[in-house]
A and B are shown apart, each in its own frame.
Chain A
Amino acid sequence: MTAPLTAVPGQPAPLTDAPRRRRRSFSGGSPLVYAAALVVVAATLGPVVYAILGGFRSNAQLAAEPVGLPDPWVTTNYLNVLTSSSFWRYALNSTIVAGITTVVVAVFGVMAAYPLARYRFRGREALFLVFTLGLLFPLTVAIIPLFLMLRDLDLTNSLWGVALPQAAFALPMTIVILRPFLMAIPKELEEAAMLDGTSRIGFFWRILLPLSGPGLVTVGVLAFVASWNSYLLPLLILSDPAAQTLPLGVATFSSEHAQDTAGVLAFTSLAMIPALVFFLAMEKRIVNGLQGAVKG
């Protein structure tokens, strides 16, 4: 996700997932096709379903019969997680970090993309290049100096210390996606607004920002997911358990309770749920965003 996605002038292709009512060419589902599809679905969802069901079993059940349905259904694993304060703290921290990242990326990103898209000035392309070059630098390359810098700034164990760098690394992608989006807004609209006496800043606030809503949502969703899932930076920055995010929590819990498979499965399953719910709600945005990013 953090990878450079720019250098790809693919064909201009329709992206939308929606009305693909292609006249049925080689359509249809023979039993073989459905069998293959079933295998794919099972392989994809199997581990997830297993983890969720496994959380309802006891370790004895798991040891005696690694594969099987809970019998009887045990809820203590889940209850233990849900009643532990640490789980909720991890979740809260993750929400805060991802929230800050998203807001900062969206606000700063659209602000920067606006002049890059709609002002003519010397150095515009150079400035855009500076941001796109950021796609070349993955977090891994900068992580050690970043860690030392955040330590010197006293931002270790601070959620800002994770959110701000995360936002900074998400900016290139954001600007690369938003700029063409803002460019596509018709010139006439801007002229009409100017005619009516709006300044460029007024145009930005009153017209451009509302119109770029869909683009902002896409960019925001991508930044949110990336930030929510991130591990490397939090791993280095957040050593204090009170400040840790959900991925760190999952890793810690699974190594501390390595013998308690059922407990780990319950904890991990619960940690999956926010991501899954968010994904199901935002599926179109995420998919279109990724596809759009690749299409350039």
Chain B
Amino acid sequence: MADDVTHRTGTATVAATPTAAGRVPTRPAAPGPRRRLSARWRKRLEILFFVTPALTLFAMFVVVPVIQAGRYSVFRWNGLGPMENFVGLENYANALRDQVFTDAVMHNLTIIVLSILIQLPLGLAVALLLNRDMWGRAAMRVIIFVPYVLAEVVAGVVWLMLLQPNGVVDAVLDAVGLGGLTQLWLGNPDIALYTVMFVLTWKYLGLAVILFLAGLQGVPPDLYEAAQIDGASWWQVQRRITIPLLGPTIRTWGFLSMIGSLQVFDMVWILTKGGPANSTVTMATYLINQGTNRSLYGYSSAVAVLLFGISLVLALAYQVFVLRRDNDDAPKPRKATR
């Protein structure tokens, strides 16, 4: 009797309890103790049962393709027939020699830098604004987040319409007396990347704001009260209390923003397809272009591996130089406020 309880609970502490013993017979679902598997095997089977579906799916559609990308990258292959034209690292060398690829890398890096230079101060400003007690605050918090929820394609098409020659953007500039600034926003190679950047900022500012607002809630209110008593100005309070305490949130957002900037595809594909004259090409659009439009699957895979390598290096560097501060000593920012 005690036996068939223990094999399920794993511990003997339970076995003698009268309630447990009394109830067991009423649950025929429990397998008979005679030909039972050992508790250990049963546990293993359970683990297997729970984990297998996810693991299979994950292995099939994530792990295998990633490994395959590495394998394809050392072949010259158009996706048809056997893969036998082994070229070693030639694809990598070709990519690194290709001006368009290095341009793409530079564009991705530009997007990272501009995201931080523009979205960080802007996001902070809006978060501080929406953190005040003001009428309609809740609604504004929802509104600021709307662009983030729209598909990049949908947002991109709307902006494509707005930015077309003689479109709304030009009309608005005309109306406010800046008509001299109108131009081919997406057609001028000198401007196109910044136009794309502008649209990306519109799309992703809400994410920064929402994360910063969450961080602001972690700031203990008594700090503000103390500062108020000490007669600190609003600006002093933000600079000395809010922003230092927001540090971990900001650094986290920076990480997300960086990784996202490295992957940019949808928006660029919709707005410019990487043009004009490759002025907005990114690693992802380059990769897709080489892979699908030109069927250079080996070469394209090499670009994918390079993209992954660059992402990994930047992520690790960020981890070491920026996020480490958070890992080492979490209480530090608290002290910094003194």
Residues of A within 8 A of B (CB): 2-5, 7-11, 13-15, 17, 20, 22-29, 33-34, 36-37, 40-41, 43-45, 47-48, 50-51, 54, 63, 66-67, 104, 107-109, 111-112, 114-116, 119, 121, 127, 130-131, 134, 136-138, 140-149, 164-165, 167-169, 171-172, 175, 194-197, 199-202, 204, 225, 228-232, 235-236, 246-248, 250-251, 254, 261, 264-265, 268, 271-272, 275-276, 279-280, 283, 286-287, 290-291, 294-295
Chain A residues positioned under 8 Å from B207 (CB to CB): 290
Interface of B is mostly: helix
- A147: B residues at CB distance < 8 A: 291-292
Given A112-B54, A140-B265, A168-B62; A11-B288 close (CB under 8 Å): no
Nearest CB of chain B from residue A25's CB, rounded to whole Å: 4
Is B112's CB within 8 Å of the partner chain A?
no
- A271, chain B: closest CB distance, angstroms: 6
- Cα A28 to Cα B55 in complex, Å, equals 52
**Do the beta carbons of B69 and A142 come within 8 Å of each other?**
yes
Cα of A250 to Cα of B320 in the assembled complex, Å: 42
Q: List the B side residues contacting A66 at CB < 8 Å.
A: 166-168, 170-171
Contact partners of B49 in chain A: CB under 8 A:
201
Interface set, chain B 168-203, CB cutoff 8 A to A: 168, 170-172, 175, 202
Q: Hey, which bits of chain B sit against chain A, CB under 8 A?
A: 5, 8-9, 14, 17, 19-20, 23-24, 26-27, 29-30, 43-44, 46-47, 49-51, 53-55, 57-58, 60-66, 68-69, 72, 79, 126, 129-130, 132-136, 140, 142-147, 149-155, 157-162, 164, 166-168, 170-172, 175, 202, 205-207, 210-211, 214-215, 217-218, 221, 224-225, 228, 234, 237, 248-249, 252-253, 255-256, 259-260, 263, 265-266, 269-270, 283-284, 287-288, 291-292, 297, 300-301, 304-305, 307-308, 311-312, 315, 319, 323, 326-327, 330, 333
Residue of chain B at shortest CB distance from A174? B54
Question: How many Å lie between the Cα of A112 and that of B59 in the bound state?
Answer: 13
Most buried by A among B44, B151, B159, B248: B151
Shortest C-beta distance, B135 to chain A (Å), equals 6
Residue in A10, A26, A107, A148 whose CB lies within 8 Å of B237? A26
Alpha-carbon separation in the docked complex, A26 to B217 (Å): 14
Contact B46 A115, beta carbon cutoff 8 Å? yes
Q: Which of B43, B146, B164 contacts A276 (CB 8 A)?
A: B146
Q: Which residues of A contact B301 (CB under 8 A)?
A: 144-145
Of the residues A47, A107, A140, A291, contact of B211 by C-beta under 8 Å? A291
Contact of B253 among A246, A261, A294 (CB under 8 A): A294
Q: Is B66's CB under 8 angstroms from A175's CB?
A: no
Q: Please state if A41 and B57 are interface contacts (CB–CB under 8 Å).
A: no
Find the A residue at minimum CB distance from B20.
Answer: A195
Most buried by B among A36, A119, A204: A119
Partner of A229, one of B135, B145, B152, B315: B152
The 21 sampled A-B contact pairs (Cβ below 8 Å) are A4-B255, A8-B248, A26-B237, A48-B146, A51-B158, A66-B170, A67-B171, A131-B54, A136-B315, A140-B283, A141-B308, A142-B69, A143-B291, A148-B68, A149-B65, A171-B54, A201-B46, A229-B151, A231-B269, A250-B153, A294-B214
Does A199 lie within 8 Å of B221, measured CB to CB?
no
Flag if A247 contacts B61 (CB, 8 Å).
Answer: no
How far does the alpha carbon of A291 sit from the alpha carbon of B228 in the complex, in Å? 29
B144 contacts across to A, CB distance below 8 A: 40-41, 44
A129 to nearest B CB, angstroms? 12
* B232 CB, nearest partner CB in chain A, Å: 10
Decide if A28 touches B133 in the complex (CB within 8 Å).
yes
- Shortest B90–chain A CB gap in Å is 17
